[in-house]
Amino acid sequence: MRSQRHSAVARDDIPYKEGFEVPKISIEDLKKIKERERAKMVLREGQFRGKITVHMGTCGIAAGAREIMSVLRDLIAKKNVLDVMLTNSGCAGLCAKEPMITVELADQPPVKYVLLDKEKAARIFEEHVMGGKPVEDFALGRGSETTAV
């Protein structure tokens, strides 16, 4: 039997059940979804110069990824950086290397940084994100998973 509690769309093949309420989506929720999806598109269209992804799977969070995210968010705000997107992802599959971030700048291969702390994240932000020069000391590799060198 099909579960109705996860369906947010009315369907003719699922009978109405008394007392069942479809989850409500507020205008604020829709705006957040719109902004999140728009941010993905503008990076692809070249309106951002870069993207920082903090890997925040369970292992990353346990290793300190929230603190890394906080440091990067604060630096972006403090320096009023408007052309770099800060985002997160789930597990990258390298639990022993957490916390990790990936920095992607226009016209450069992505760089994955591992075993980070607040100071290392701040240095990566200054030297790589703002200065354009990868910090080899903390880099696991460059390029996407299929082209890493």
Q: Is the residue at 63 inside a domain?
A: yes
Rounded Cα–Cα distance for residues 84 and 98 (Å): 22
Q: Is the residue at 122 inside a domain?
A: yes
Rounded Cα–Cα distance for residues 101 and 140 (Å): 10
User: How many domains are there within the chain?
Assistant: 1
Segment holding 101, helix H or strand E = strand 101-105
The pLDDT assigned to 39 comes to 55
Q: Is the residue at 130 inside a domain?
A: yes
Q: Is the residue at 124 inside a domain?
A: yes
**What does the mean pLDDT of the chain come to?**
82
Q: Is the residue at 148 inside a domain?
A: no
Q: Got the DSSP string for 48-88? A: -SEEEEEE-SHHHHHHTHHHHHHHHHHHHHHTT--SEEEEE
Q: Is the residue at 83 inside a domain?
A: yes
For residue 110, cis peptide bond before it (omega within 30 degrees of 0): no
- What is the share, in percent, of the chain residues with pLDDT greater than 70? 73
Residue 146 in this model has a pLDDT that exceeds 60: no
Are 144 and 120 in contact, with CB atoms under 8 Å apart? no
| pLDDT tens track for 18-77 | 666 667 788 888 887 777 666 555 555 567 889 999 999 999 999 999 999 999 999 999
Q: Is the residue at 24 inside a domain?
A: no
CATH, residue 96: 3.40.30.10
Record the tokens describing residue 119, joined without a space.
């100071």
| Domain encompassing residue 132 | 48-142
Say which residue, 34 or 123, is predicted with more confidence.
Answer: 123
Say which residue, 80 or 123, is predicted with more confidence.
Answer: 123
Q: Is the residue at 25 inside a domain?
A: no
The pLDDT assigned to 7 comes to 47
Rounded Cα–Cα distance for residues 142 and 149 (Å): 6
